[in-house]
Amino acid sequence: MTRESVIATAGLTKRFGRITAVDSVDLDVREGDVYGFLGANGSGKTTTVRMLLGLVLATSGQMEVLGQPMPSNWRDVLPRVGAMVEGSAAYPHLSGRRNLALIDAAGPGGQRADRKSRIAEALERVGLLAVDDRPVRAYSLGMRQRLGLAGALLRRPRLLVLDEPTNGLDPQGIQEIRKLLLDLNRTGTTVFLSSHLLTEIEQMCSRVGVLERGRLVLQAELADLRRATGRVEVRTPDVDLVRTLLDGVVEEYDATRLLVRESDPAGLNARLVRAGVRVTALAAEQRSLEDVVLEAAAASGDRFGGIP
């Protein structure tokens, strides 16, 4: 079954004078995706996100969000979209709860009748309910980031658009936000996650788009990108024995590990065990997202930089 398009752009371009920040980008984000929008700082990610939300006008191209052209239909679209772009903006002298009330009242489609319960729910989901009355000036950077995410969750959105949502969080906070976003996705929310962190995209996302110098150089399902390489990784203390048994198909090795050209991991394991090899681990090798990004860079003629 074909999934409905949630974000679709065609030739989306933004120029600032002589500088082309976004260059003819064709995004395809489908219902149910956790879409990772990956690129180095300065690659055009935030400008693209701001165009999708109607915060910046495109120079040329078309875009649809939730099946409707943007920005002309922003009044209908934005109440169903939760967004956090360039960190959390807040009034420092007000509490987190009061900031969220102002955000909800100012945005299109806010319903006062259930505002209190929605704010409490959003604060609880991001772990801020216990400190909701503290002035935001007393918040750490990580707490401010959580507050921004709470603001994105206020309307129980169908689509979440997040720009670097784990910035400033400690490892435990990153893990908690990752779990929250994946739980939201499992209950029907499509997530569009802009980040410069390979590990964040690789651990969370089902679909990936890679932006380099304003151009979309790669877009595909992560599972397809990380296909098997045709090699098997074998870990064993008997490296020399394996090299003798598999002469001609061992491509790399060190003191405890070998990479073997083999299409049948189960058959290889059985053969090694019969020969008395002490196999401690064996698995088909897969390409990493880093490998994929570097290949895309080489194919496009660009050099990726700043993506850890």
Tokens 């064996």 -> residue? 282
Other CB atoms within a 10 A radius of the CB of residue 164 amount to 20
Domains and CATH numbers, the chain: 5-224 (3.40.50.300), 228-286 (3.30.70)
- Check residue 253 and give its pLDDT: 95
- Check residue 272 and give its pLDDT: 97
Instruction: Give yes or no for residue 302 having a pLDDT over 70.
Output: no
Rounded Cα distance between 89 and 85, Å, is: 9
Pairing type for strands 215-221 and 207-212 reads: antiparallel
Average pLDDT over residues 129-145: 84
Full-model pTM: 0.80
Sign (positive or negative) of CA dihedral 261, 266, 267, 273: positive
Q: For 32-140, where are the alpha helices, taking DSSP H only?
A: 45-52, 74-77, 96-106, 115-125
- Check residue 87 and give its pLDDT: 65
The end-to-end CA distance of the chain, in Å, is 36
Which residue did the predictor score with more confidence, 151 or 86?
151
Average pLDDT over residues 67-82: 92
In angstroms, the Cα distances linking 210 to 40, 66, 118, 201 are 9, 22, 34, 11
Instruction: Give yes or no for residue 303 having a pLDDT over 80.
Output: no
- Check residue 278 and give its pLDDT: 97
Mean pLDDT of the chain: 88
